[in-house]
Chains A and B, each alone.
Chain A
Amino acid sequence: MNDTSNWAAFTAVMRRDLMVVMRRRSDVLNPLLFILMVVSLFPLAVGPGPDILGRIAAGVIWVAALLSALLGSERLFRDDFLDGTLEQLTLLPQPLPLLAGAKIVVHWLLSGLPLVILAPLCALLLKLPAEGWLTLMATLVVGTPILSAVTAIGAALTVSLGRGGALLSLLLLPLFIPLLIFATGAVEAALMGTAAWPQVLLLAGLSLLTLLLAPFAVAAAIRVSVN
């Protein structure tokens, strides 16, 4: 296999997945609306005072991000598994981890990227102090790829079970804990006026590591699920 055919397969999988999703726009919008609603629940629950909201803002946004990544995980492999596309993908001569990588990228484009775009609005609603905005955006940009990659592992493991939901969150949420800690810690450091870049860099490193290793785990999980 040469590089061009690998690249062609990568883009073909991406293009196809994007096209499938674009036919059902509500799938893209629903997780975003979900985040918005979760975020607006918190002022109602804990009171709208700016000091408390500002302190929990980064945590709330990140928890909402975790939940929405889980919510959007079904569409990663479920339909492809049901109509047999996933099995066909495993039979391609191109390496399966590469194709899994394409799926991770699509998932990020559809859940991570909109979240990054939506984040300023959430920060506004939660009265996050101005010092924290840039750091929050930075953690979301480097952190959401981890979300997509690890979610893909879980989704591939549970795709043949038919009832993902609670099981998937049971598998994945513990794995997200370091991400949550470093991301909210970075925003907190920024709010306190200390340097936040060490945590952001650490997150970026974790992100690269995850993106490097996750496709192999996803590929292995797909092979378990389809046979």
Chain B
Amino acid sequence: MVFDNLQAFIAMGGYGFYVWLAFGISFAAIAVLVISGLTARRKLQREFVKEQRRQERLAQRKREVS
């Protein structure tokens, strides 16, 4: 531990703004990447459910006609 207390850690020897800005932006960019991967998966799922319902409706209509 090279910092004496939490305040010194946040101040980063006077460079706090730059260090935390750099780490914050990096973290945000990676978070966006992770979340976009997760939502893509969920979107696929929704698309799939919609498609399946459509198929079911079509099948039902066919049964009614015949």
User: Do A and B touch directly, given a CB cutoff of 8 Å in the complex?
Assistant: no
Binding site for A on B (CB under 8 A): none
Binding site for B on A (CB under 8 A): none
